[in-house]
Chains A and B, each alone.
Chain A
């Protein structure tokens, strides 16, 4: 099956700093990637949809200036949490859509802890 990687798998940072998370589709090209946030024992909350070469589309209530998304190539999207605060601590998961099957494949997730 298609493989999606995320890096880092976990990160601890101080309040006020910025953190970048990478999402890569390893064996297919993804014109669309998605970023989700998951709180403990809850379902996934879609944050934004990222299309290669264009601006991301953010879901209602998600601050686009805080969660910067870049999709510079068909295999890489990045999420930067700017000026992170403890309330941004969460599990962030990306997915990439494989076009021929219209199926989303998910990365292993990144656990962010902001002190």
Chain B
């Protein structure tokens, strides 16, 4: 079956530091890959997505590239802000199937 493994948290960084949250997956076929972000007390927001190999999703300074050869979709940001503190979920789905989530990575940015 499908599975997503993401970097265990919590992750604590200083403001303006470089961020990487690792995500690898196992799936048959060619799933779409997603990063969702959850701020405290809220639902999930779609941060970015990629639907095929070598696609790069980007939004709000965050980027992730769909790497089929390494089955990875690592999330990166060049300079984090305090407002980026949240829980980040990596997920995948094949067309018309349910999402498979990673366990989530809690990120805290300190001024």
Contact = CB atoms under 8 A, between A and B. Distances in A.
A binds B: yes
Interface in A72-115: 93, 95, 102-109, 111
Contacts of B102: 43
Instruction: Count chain A CB atoms within 10 A of each CB in B32, B43, B49, B89 and give the residue with the most.
Output: B43
Contact of B98 (A34, A42, A108, A109): A34
Interface residues of B, number: 21
B26 interface: no
Contact of A109 (B43, B99, B101, B103): B43
Interface string B9-49: 00000000000000000000000101010000111111001
B89 A43 contact: yes
A43 B104 contact: yes
A80 B35 CA distance: 29
Contact of B42 (A41, A103, A109): A109
| Main secondary structure on A side of the interface with B | strand
A4 B43 CA distance: 10
A28 to B, nearest CB: 13
B37 to A, nearest CB: 10
Interface in A3-57: 4, 6, 32, 34, 41-44, 46, 49
14 contacts: A34-B99, A42-B104, A43-B89, A43-B103, A44-B101, A46-B99, A102-B93, A102-B95, A103-B49, A104-B46, A106-B44, A106-B45, A108-B42, A108-B43
The 9 nearest A-B residue pairs measured at CB: A106-B44, A109-B43, A106-B43, A108-B43, A93-B43, A43-B104, A43-B103, A107-B43, A43-B101
Interface of A: 1, 4, 6, 32, 34, 41-44, 46, 49, 93, 95, 102-109, 111
